[in-house]
Amino acid sequence: MTDRLRIALAQLNPKVGDLPGNLALARAALADAVAAKADILMFSELFLTGYFPDDLLFKPQFIKDAMQAARDLVADTAGTEVVLVLPTVWWDKTGLHNAAIVAENGEIIATRLKRELPNTDVFYEKRYFTAGPLAMPVLIKGVSVGIPICEDIWHASVCEHLAMRGAEIMLCPNGSPYWTNKQHIRKELVRARVAEDDVPMLYLNQVGGQDELVFDGASFAIEPGDKLVLQGKSFATDFIVSDWVRGDDGWTCANGEVTELTTTDEAPWLACVLGLRDYVHKNGFSQVVLGLSGGIDSAVVAAMAVDALGPENVHCIMLPYRYTSEASLADARACADNLGVRYDIVAIGDPVDDALAQLAPIFGDRPADLAEENIQSRMRGVVLMAVSNKLGSMLLTTGNKSEMGVGYATIYGDMNGGYNPLKDMFKMEVYRLAGWRNAHVPGDCLGPSGEVIPQAIIDKAPSAELRPDQTDQDSLPPYPVLDAILKGIVEDELSLAEIVALGYEPALIQRIERLVNIAEYKRRQSAPGPKLTAKAFGMGRKYPITNGYKDRSI
Q: What is the model's pLDDT at position 539?
A: 81
pLDDT at residue 463, rounded to an integer: 78
**Catalytic residue check, 522:** no
pLDDT, mean over the chain? 95
Distance separating alpha carbons of residues 205 and 9, to the nearest angstrom: 9
| Model pLDDT, residue 453 | 98
Q: How confident is the model at residue 465 (pLDDT cuts 50, 70, 90)?
A: confident
User: What is the structure's pLDDT at 122?
Assistant: 81
Active site includes 212? no
The residue among 443, 467, 547 whose CA lies nearest residue 235 is 443
The reported pLDDT for the residue numbered 444 is: 87
Q: Which of 104, 116, 150, 233 is catalytic?
A: 150
Q: Is 275 helix (H, G, I), strand (E, B) or coil?
A: helix
**Is 114 a known active-site residue?**
yes
The active-site residue, picked from 45, 125, 373, 513, is 45
**Cα 538 from Cα 520, distance rounded (Å):** 10
* Consecutive H or E run containing 491: none
Q: What is the mean pLDDT of residues 512-526?
A: 96
pLDDT for the residue 201: 98
Q: What pLDDT is attached to residue 540?
A: 81
Point out the catalytic residue in the list 114, 233, 401, 522: 114
d(C-alpha 285, C-alpha 30), whole Å: 29
Q: Does domain 4-253 have CATH number 3.40.30.10?
A: no
Helices 60-76, 19-35: axis angle to 10 degrees equals: 20
What is the pLDDT averaged over residues 353-369?
Answer: 96
How is residue 541 annotated by DSSP?
Answer: B
Q: What is the per-residue pLDDT for 283?
A: 97
Partner residues linked to 138 by β-bridges: 145
What is the secondary structure of 341-384 as a DSSP string? -EEEE---HHHHHHHHHHHHHHHTTPPP-HHHHHHHHHHHHHHH
Q: What pLDDT is attached to residue 69?
A: 98
What number of residues does the chain have? Answer: 554
**pLDDT digits 0-9 by tens, 252-287:** 999 989 999 999 899 999 999 999 999 999 999 999
pLDDT at 376: 96
d(CA 27, CA 82): 12
| Residue 474: predicted pLDDT | 74
pLDDT at 345: 98
Fold agreement between 4-253 and 267-524: no
Residue 541: per-residue pLDDT: 86
Name every residue whose Cβ is closer than 8 Å to that of residue 480 and which is 6 or more positions away in sequence.
Answer: 428
Of residues 183 and 540, more confidence is placed in: 183
CB atoms within 10 A of CB 35: 8
Specify the range with the lowest mean pLDDT, choosing from 50-64, 163-177, 345-359, 473-487: 473-487
Query: How many Cα atoms sit within 13 Å of 9 on the Cβ side?
Result: 31
| Per-residue pLDDT band at 99 (split at 50, 70, 90) | very high
pLDDT top residue among 166 and 476: 166
Mean pLDDT, to the nearest integer, of 202-229?
Answer: 97
The letter for the amino acid at 127 is: R
3-state secondary structure (DSSP) of residue 51: coil
Q: What is the pLDDT of residue 365?
A: 94
Task: Please check the confidence at residue 452 and state whether its pLDDT lies above 80.
Answer: yes
Residue pLDDT, tens place only, 400-430: 999 999 999 999 999 999 999 999 999 999 9
How far apart (Å, rounded) are the C-alpha atoms in residues 143 and 171? 12
Q: pLDDT digits over 366-399, tens only?
A: 999 999 999 999 999 999 999 999 999 999 999 9
pLDDT given at position 230: 96
**Residue 222 amino acid letter:** I
| 309-322 mean pLDDT | 97
CATH superfamily of 267-524: HUPs (3.40.50.620)
pLDDT for res 347: 97
What pLDDT is recorded for position 461? 83
Rg (CA), the chain: 26
Confidence of residue 79 (pLDDT cuts 50, 70, 90): very high
- In the chain the first and final C-alpha atoms are separated, in Å, by 68
Q: Name the residue ranges covered by the structural domains of the chain.
A: 4-253, 267-524
CA 464 – CA 470 distance, rounded (Å):
7
